[in-house]
Structure 1
Amino acid sequence: MEIEQSQKDLATKTELLQREKKIAEERNLMYSIIVVISLILIFLFWNNRQKQKAKRKIEEAFAKLKETQAQLIQSEKMASLGELTAGIAHEIQNPLNFVNNFSEVNKELLTEMKEELEKGNLEDVKAIADDVISNEEKINHHGKRADAIVKGMLQHSRASSAEKEPTDINKLADEYLRLAYHGLRAKDKAFNAELVTDFDESISKIDVIPQDIGRVILNLITNAFYATNERKKTSEDSAFKPTVSIATKMMDNHLGTGGERKGNAVQISVKDNGNGIPKDIVDKIFQPFFTTKPTGSGTGLGLSLSYDIIKTHGGEIAVESTASKGTTFTIILPINQEI
């Protein structure tokens, strides 16, 4: 009996030991799980902190990039305004000369009118008065012309309002063509070029952001003048004459690049007879900072900004170029297209 009792006690102790061992193993497993979960939580917390830091750095870098981009865009705007300065001065001088001349004439006419009044020659007084009125109308016209040039200059230099307004595309194109030409002539007296315009008079005012489209047209025209001037410098053909043309055309329900109908649009073409663009770089010309001009002669942003502006208007811009024959840039602006 004692042996049996001892065996039972041993079996009980063994069972208790096994239970304690199992409990210990379960406890160790639980501790291990807690440790692993804790490590995972710590890792996730650390990873989240790193992501937040990385996000903040990306946001800061993006903000700096946007700031730098804005500065570069403003730099490009001021550079193009510099190109216009001499042309603007020339264009303002013309109406001011008219205003001054007609003012001098009116002064003489009014003096003459006083003399005729004293003599009682009312018919002569009326005739002189008619001349004065006519001259005043001319003064008013040229004054408004000078005012429009100054407003256009300010509009070109200020930041875009991103608001469309009815704009006469023909007038805008003609204005920038003459301003760019006189600006280049003021810097280089030897430069001369034939200006050709072909404006579709059926085009009514269309809704665009005028200062932005003006910048695009100006950029294409100044590039065209540069190309023709470079060819003139290197050409052995004494009969070569630099020629830059700008044309507009109304397009009814035109076809898109994929052959789909795109609705009504206005086409603007700027063509030159310069050296042309080599085939291997044609696809790169709309990339930011890409330029074929010598260092210091261009920012490489003009065509890139032009591309962005036209795309923002829902339009298209394309280029065709042939070596030694010239280049044609074509813009298509949809009518009644919301930005």
Structure 2
Amino acid sequence: MQQLFNYHSKIIKFRLRIYKIRKTSYMSFEPFLAVFVITQFRKNLKNDGLLDKWNQYLNIGYFIAIGIFIIDVSFSAHKAATILSHLYFLGLTIAPYYIDDLKSGKQLAFALIPFAIVGLISDVIEKWFPNFYDDHENTIQSLVVFSLIWAFSLWMINRKQAKALENERRQRFAEQEQNRMMAAMKVNLESEVKQRTAELTKQTEELQQALAELKSTQAQLIQSEKMASLGELTAGIAHEIQNPLNFVNNFSEVSIELLEELKDEVLDKLPDDVKEEAGDIISDITQNLSKINQHGKRADAIVKGMLQHSRTTTGKKEPTDINALADEYLRLSYHGLRAKDKSFNAGMKTSFDPELGKIEAIPQDLGRVLLNLFNNSFYAVTEKKKLLGEGYEPTVTVNTKRVVSASGADLVQIMVEDNGTGIPQKVLDKIYQPFFTTKPTGQGTGLGLSMSYDIITKGHGGDLKVETAEGEFARFIITLPVGNLQSA
């Protein structure tokens, strides 16, 4: 019992000491608490980026706290200053609950509101209800002490939490900074990878282009060697065959003439009983000699075609005006066919690019290609004219223009189109084979398109394509590399 009494006495003494402190220095303490609260508000507003908006009001709050302190110290208005101080401090503590910009100070306000309320109530009771205050002084003092302990405890807890949050914020900021640096490094790395990839792609394309040019040059050299060897071979064959063919053709023609003379001058002098039989024999011999002459000329044309085929890449390249060359051989083909057949007639349309200029080419070889294509087109429209009659208008169209390939290379394109019989789909894959022809026997050697294909692809490094619809049209497209293009 004695120990319990002593403990109770110590608590009473402690409360009295707190009360004395409050009585003597509470007013000098509460304005400092107001300054502390305003300072915390300033820190929070600065972190939220709102300090410029509230800086003037915070400075006014400092002046008010200092003014209350000066009034308390300098004038004999202790109780009025005490009430004013309580109201001001209470207003500061409840401000975060009504002003959104100060909501980050709610935790501090929650810790100090009990102290502000208890202090205000204590002074009001002491001033206006002194008897009640004297009867419950110990209880009121205990509430003041507990409100201080509450404020200090919550302040310590909030401070600890604030430090933890600050550490977390710094850690998160460090992680964000690290992520930003990693993202920047990733962007730089991706940029370097793209740059290296582009360089490697460019080098690969250059190597592929160089390899393609090398293969093209190699193919042209091989073709030149093959054609040179074939030229020597065909020259020997022509020398050995041409003379016998000439004798066959010439003597068959002479024999036909002699038989005609025999028929006109000698046959009438024969007796009637042998005259008819002799005439039949002369007619049979004449017919046989005509066949011999016809097939002899056919063999002569084949030999000449072989000679032309073997000379496709033996010429020398020189600046060539494609427009002039195409126009010249178009008219040469037309007038040549007109000279053989007076009934031949066809329309011609041309569209030449005036900016085409000259390219490095072998004009004689390109001329043979164009002449062959023109002859084929005129033949196709003539055959269709025979089928359709007067309602059909045979037309051969020639166009030239510059184009750009998918790889960006400049090319020259020559298009020869006709509205003739077209090419059957079943033979389309065979038209470039030597000795293949769709013309009747005696009207084509089958070497024209084969020779043309070799001249374009192997002799000039170009391309020869065909587009056709049977019975409607045929379109041959020659594509040549520009090379050293000269302006028109």
TM-score computed with the length of structure 2 as normaliser:
0.36
Q: In the alignment, is residue 273 of structure 1 matched against residue 383 of structure 2? A: no
Q: 1:274 to 1:335 in 2, by over 3 A?
A: same
Report what 1:297 is aligned to.
443
Q: How far 1:246 sits from its partner (Å)?
A: 0.6
Q: 2:410 aligns with which of 248, 264, 272?
A: 264
Q: 2:371 aligns with which of 194, 218, 226?
A: 218
Report what 1:317 is aligned to.
464
Q: 2:352 aligns with which of 190, 196, 199?
A: 199
Higher-Rg structure is 2
Q: In the alignment, is residue 249 of structure 1 matched against residue 395 of structure 2? A: no
Q: How far 1:293 sits from its partner (Å)?
A: 0.6
Q: In the alignment, is residue 333 of structure 1 matched against residue 484 of structure 2? A: no
For 1:332 and 1:73, the matched residues in 2 are separated by 34
Is the contact between residue 381 and residue 421 of structure 2 (CA under 8 Å) also seen in structure 1? yes
For 1:189 and 1:174, the matched residues in 2 are separated by 22
Q: 1:186 to 1:64 in 2, by over 3 A?
A: closer
Q: How far 1:214 sits from its partner (Å)?
A: 0.7
Report what 1:307 is aligned to.
453
Q: 1:158 to 1:68 in 2, by over 3 A?
A: closer
**Per-residue CA shift, 1:181-226, capped at 9, x if unaligned?**
0110111111110010000011011100110111111110000000
Q: How far 1:66 sits from its partner (Å)?
A: 2.3
Q: How far 1:326 sits from its partner (Å)?
A: 1.1
Structure 2 gaps, min length 5: 1-225, 240-307
Q: 1:163 aligns with which of 283, 297, 316?
A: 316
Is the contact between residue 227 and residue 310 of structure 2 (CA under 8 Å) also seen in structure 1? no
Report what 1:144 is aligned to.
none
For 2:429 and 2:233, the matched residues in 1 are separated by 22
Q: 1:185 to 1:63 in 2, by over 3 A?
A: closer
**Larger RCO, structure (CA 8 Å, separation 6 or more):** 1
Please, what is the CA RMSD of the aligned residues?
Answer: 3.1
Q: 1:71 to 1:327 in 2, by over 3 A?
A: farther
Letter of the aligned partner of 2:230 in structure 1? K
Letter of the aligned partner of 2:341 in structure 1? D
Count of aligned positions: 190
For 2:334 and 2:431, the matched residues in 1 are separated by 23
**What is the SS of the residue equivalent to 1:201?**
coil
Report what 1:172 is aligned to.
325
TM-score computed with the length of structure 1 as normaliser:
0.52
**Per-residue CA shift, 1:121-160, capped at 9, x if unaligned?**
xxxxxxxxxxxxxxxxxxxxxxxxxxxxxxxxxxx99956
For 1:239 and 1:288, the matched residues in 2 are separated by 36
Letter of the aligned partner of 1:249 in structure 2? K
For 1:284 and 1:171, the matched residues in 2 are separated by 31
Q: 1:244 to 1:286 in 2, by over 3 A?
A: same
Q: How far 1:336 sits from its partner (Å)?
A: 0.9
Report what 1:66 is aligned to.
230
Q: 1:70 to 1:199 in 2, by over 3 A?
A: farther
Q: 1:248 to 1:266 in 2, by over 3 A?
A: same
Is the contact between residue 338 and residue 344 of structure 2 (CA under 8 Å) also seen in structure 1? yes
